Structure 1
Amino acid sequence: MNSGAVKKTAVISLILGFLLTVVYQTTAEKSGQEISSDRWYKEEELRQSILQEQKENRQLEEEWRSLQRDVRAVEEEMAHREVSTFNLVEDLEKLRMLSGEVAVKGPGVEVTLNDHTYVPDGNNPNDYIVHERHIQQVVDELMLASAEAVSINGVRITRNSSIQCEGPVISVDNYTSTAPFVVRAIGDPDQLEAALELSGGVKDQLVNENIEVRMQQQSEILMDTVVGERET
């Protein structure tokens, strides 16, 4: 082979080598671009998925808070209803006790009113005996002191009860009796007794009107219903 042919062959080899290099680099760059593009799409898809999950989580959290508020509102309403129901039942029970519809048992006080044992000569005997107003004073004061139930000589008192006086005889709801008159009241013994013993109060007024007054606290008093038998 002459020198000219060798030169041509060398030139062709160089050109082919250059072309192969260019083709390889171009192919590699395209492949790299395709890989980078696929990775970007995958990362973007993952990012969008995370954002969507975060959005859904925020919605679920808000729904949970809303449910909590609803639950608290229901609980508060139920608590209010329970208190209202309890108060209603308690008030109804007190009303039934005061009206004499149910038997009552508990501590309380016993107040005995008696005619004065001594009437000075020349004085009116009526000024020394127990009248209905004296008994009514005691009953009213005991009621004001939160007595749960009151009786007079075993007769249960209600808001419709009547106390009438005919000389030394007093009629309570058509039950007649004479002195001594025993008024019993169920409730806080200390509170009931203190109400009657206030300075210038009921007891002092009765004593000033020549009525003998004796008070005792009782650990247990039993009162039947109005339609039942008298208390013992």
Structure 2
Amino acid sequence: MLKFRKLKGNQVVLSLVALVLGFLVAFSYSITERESESKGPVITDKQWEQNINLKKQLADQVTKNRELQTELNDKHDLVREFEQELAQEAQVFFNLAEDAEKYRMYLGKVKVKGNGVQVTLKDGEYNPDEKNINNYLVHEHHVFKVINELYISGASAISVNGKRLTHQSYIVCNGPVITVDGSPFPAPFVITALGDPEVLSSALNLTGGVKDQLVNDSIQFSLEEKTGVIMDPILGG
């Protein structure tokens, strides 16, 4: 009986010791696990080397990107220079085209339309006391006076009785008619000019100018400002 009690007491002690050891092992494992979680995953040497290589590649790529950006900026500057040169060339071509169109207009090669003036010259009224009939008829020099004044005042195109003039045109007086480039026209003579109506009118109406000279020659002179003047191109010119 005594032996049985002694054995049972030893078992209790051993059980307590085992319980304490189990608690210590469990506590130690819990502490270790918490420290591992707080420190994060363990990185191996191979992973560390890969991280270093990736950082180096990233740094190299950043440097390369800077170089490419610099090159791109240089290309943009070059493109802008080309654009400026093209713009200047385009302006030159535009000016040449504008001049060519102006010359075509002077040569009568293109149809023109715009504002202008219309001058009508009529023979003077019959005067029985005037022995020389030529003294009150319109002659080519009268027509030339009007045409020259219109050109000087900036007229871009002129026609006589619908016959458009060119740099090669000629006007000849042949008795009671005037021949313009081979086409005869009787009086009245209608001279139409394309240009600034106010400027052209002012030039013709100057005191002592063309109008006064023609009136003094007994020529009937009338002037009218016109809008929508149209002159067709000269065919075969």
TM range (shorter): 0.5 to 0.7
* Worse-superposed segment, 119-128 or 143-152: 119-128
Q: Whose radius of gyration is greater, 1 or 2? A: 2
Mapping 1:121-160, distance limit 5 Å: 121-122=129-130, 124-160=132-168
Residue ranges of structure 1 left out of the alignment (5+ in a row) = 1-41
1:199 counterpart residue number: 207
The alignment's TM-score, normalised by the length of structure 2, stands at 0.65
Q: Secondary structure at the match of 1:218?
A: strand
Which letter does structure 2 place at the counterpart of 1:90?
A: E
Give the deviation of 1:207 after TM superposition. 2.1
**Is 2:207 the partner of 1:210?**
no
Q: What's the secondary structure of 2:233's corresponding residue?
A: coil
SS at match of 2:167: coil
Q: Name the residue aligned to 2:81.
A: 73
Structure 2: give runs of 5+ residues left out of the alignment.
1-51
Q: Secondary structure at the match of 2:168?
A: coil
Superposed displacement of residue 144, structure 1: 2.6
RMSD over equivalenced CA pairs, Å: 3.3
Seen in structure 2, the aligned counterparts of structure 1 residues 201 and 73 have a Cα distance that, compared at 3 Å, is farther
Look up the equivalent residue of 2:187 and give its one-letter code. A
**Shift of the alpha carbon at 1:77?**
1.5
What is the rounded CA distance, in whole Å, between the counterparts of 1:62 and 1:119 in structure 2? Answer: 92
The number of residue pairs the alignment matches comes to 189
Moved more, 145-154 or 191-200: 191-200
| Residue number in structure 1 paired with 2:125 | 117
- TM-score if structure 1 supplies the norm length? 0.67
Q: Bigger shift: 115-124 or 84-93? A: 115-124
2:146 aligns to what SS in structure 1?
helix
Question: What's the CA shift string for 1:27-58, capped at 9, x where partnerless?
Answer: xxxxxxxxxxxxxxx9xxx9xx979967984x
Per the alignment, do residues 199 and 68 of structure 1 end up closer, same or farther by CA in structure 2, a change over 3 Å counting?
Answer: farther
Paired residue for 1:187?
195
Partner of 1:173: 181
Cα offset for 1:199? 3.0
Matched, 1:227 2:218: no
- CA distance in 2 between partners of 1:122 and 1:141 (Å): 29
> What amino acid sits opposite 1:196 in the alignment?
L
**Number of the residue aligned with 2:97:** 89
